[in-house]
Amino acid sequence: MSFETISVIGLGYIGLPTAAVFASRKKKVVGVDVNQKAVDIINRGEIHIVEPDLDMVVHAAVTEGYLRATSQPEAADAFLIAVPTPFKDDHEPDLSYIESASKAIAPVLKKGDLVILESTSPVGATEQMAVWLAEARPDLSFPQARGEMSDIRVAHCPERVLPGHVLRELVQNDRVIGGMTPKCSEAAVRLYKTFVEGECIITSARTAEMCKLTENSFRDVNIAFANELSIICDKLDINVWELIRLANRHPRVNILQPGPGVGGHCIAVDPWFIVSKTPEQARLIRTAREVNDGKREWVINKVKLAVADFLQANPEKTTKNVTIACFGLAFKPDIDDLRESPAFEITKKIAGFHSGPVLAIEPNISDLPSDCLNLTLVDLEVGIRSSDLKVILVKHKEFHLLDEPHGVYVDTQGLWSGL
Ligand SMILES: NC(=O)c1ccc[n+]([C@@H]2O[C@H](COP(=O)([O-])OP(=O)(O)OC[C@H]3O[C@@H](n4cnc5c(N)ncnc54)[C@H](O)[C@@H]3O)[C@@H](O)[C@H]2O)c1
């Protein structure tokens, strides 16, 4: 069957660009979000998230009548679920958003529909979603009961776009398509081929779930290796950046760069979904998470030691008049996103324990969030001029040419130490 109407559930960083790209291919798209504010903004042809060029695509899609947002699910031929999948305090995945999204679309499902879970999910979540749908609609059949004969097709198709490049990557990236049966996969491929120019590769739903988690765990483990090296090298008085440069001269070695930890809402989250399913087996993946999370405390300790060194070299000063400047708050270079950012966490903690002034230099934002007590956002020039101790946390392009300060500093990015 062809997909005349497509419904995207969850209009955030993934769902809204996906909805807009379908609409740009002249498909009728109904976007559903529980956030009424987001719904209203989108229906005005505007956007509530930051992503280059998305405003133009959404504006055109809404103005031409292909995209409409609502808070109540409506009938459609295909449903794509792109709701959050965070973890709980104990690192167990929180599937409650998927559960409520499935329960919300169940009443409008009809024979022949396709339901795709796009949210990053632990292995088994797609099957669980199909169970929730079946419980809500005993009058329809689902793949877990009727296989290829089912009324409803169900698949998992994880998203791997890079924020900042979403519109291009949505179209160009290869896509892993994990149907609960081969027919489910075929239906999902037909849907994605509306706009995907990359290859659509078919597998099972469980493998597709594990594939997305594997990609991010691979990154996390490799970053943990670099972070652990940085701590070992510090102990042994070896410059880790020089070491990595030298080791990478080996034709089959490619070590990543250390930093203050791992941020963002994917790499620091997804490995836990593997650990929670297989705690006995996922030893390396768990340790990598712990190494990367532990790097924050290590950096904070370095800052405390640097303050002590500074005071020793400047006995006329007391802690109260040592000004610390933290360079960079975002979770990676040249973006404005502070969510799950180790740099931001470290800066807030420094502001929490240090009795003197703490300055934040983040060229990509104009205001600090409200929970930033004792922290002052200043521009680069003020930060350089007024600080006694500089802490480099993110390698934003504005910092590349900063002169190395005399005396103590903490450089988690190899900006000066790496030369
Ligand atoms: N952001 C990324 O770069 C990225 C990349 C790959 C995969 N993912 C995955 O995609 C999924 C979505 O992530 P995101 O970044 O778009 O999240 P987001 O928080 O930006 O957007 C999710 C949206 O879903 C809405 N929502 C929540 N519950 C709902 C419900 N029951 N019905 C309808 N709407 C609901 C929220 O209001 C929100 O607007 C997550 O599983 C995430 O891990 C994200």
| pLDDT tens digits, one per residue of 313-372 | 999 999 999 999 999 999 999 888 898 899 999 999 999 999 999 999 999 999 999 988
Mean pLDDT of 112-127: 98
The 3-state DSSP class for residue 202 equals: strand
Percent of the chain with pLDDT over 70: 100
| Whole-structure pTM value | 0.94
In angstroms, what is the span from residue 368 Cα to ligand 1's centroid?
24
83 CA: nearest ligand 1 atom: 24
Tell me which DSSP letter residue 337 carries.
-
| Cα gap 327→346, rounded to integer Å | 11
Residue 418 pLDDT class (50, 70, 90 cuts): confident
270 CA: nearest ligand 1 atom: 43
For the chain, what are the domain ranges? 5-198, 258-411
From 8, 9, 13, 81, the mutation candidate for ligand 1 (largest count of ligand atoms within 8 A of CB) is 13
For the record, the structure tokens of 101 come out as: 């999204």
Q: Which CATH superfamily is domain 258-411 in?
A: NAD(P)-binding Rossmann-like Domain (3.40.50.720)
The Cβ of residue 148 has, within 10 Å, a number of other Cβ atoms equal to 11
| Cα gap 80→75, rounded to integer Å | 13
Tell me which DSSP letter residue 326 carries.
E
- Does the pLDDT at position 89 exceed 90? no
Mean pLDDT of 27-53: 96
Any atom of ligand 1 within 6 Å of the Cβ of 15: yes
In angstroms, how far is CA 201 from the centroid of its own chain?
A: 23
| pLDDT tens digits, one per residue of 175-231 | 999 999 999 999 999 999 999 999 999 999 999 999 999 999 999 999 999 999 999
User: What pLDDT, on a 0 to 100 scale, did the predictor assign at position 14?
Assistant: 96
- Does the pLDDT at position 1 exceed 80? no
- The answer to whether the CB of 93 falls within 8 A of the CB of 124 is no
| pLDDT tens digits, one per residue of 217-245 | 999 999 999 999 999 999 999 999 999 99
For the record, the structure tokens of 173 come out as: 């990236």
Strands 28-32 and 5-9: parallel
- Does the pLDDT at position 265 exceed 90? no
pLDDT, mean over the chain:
96
Any atom of ligand 1 within 6 Å of the Cβ of 104: yes
The domain 5-198: what is its CATH number? Answer: 3.40.50.720
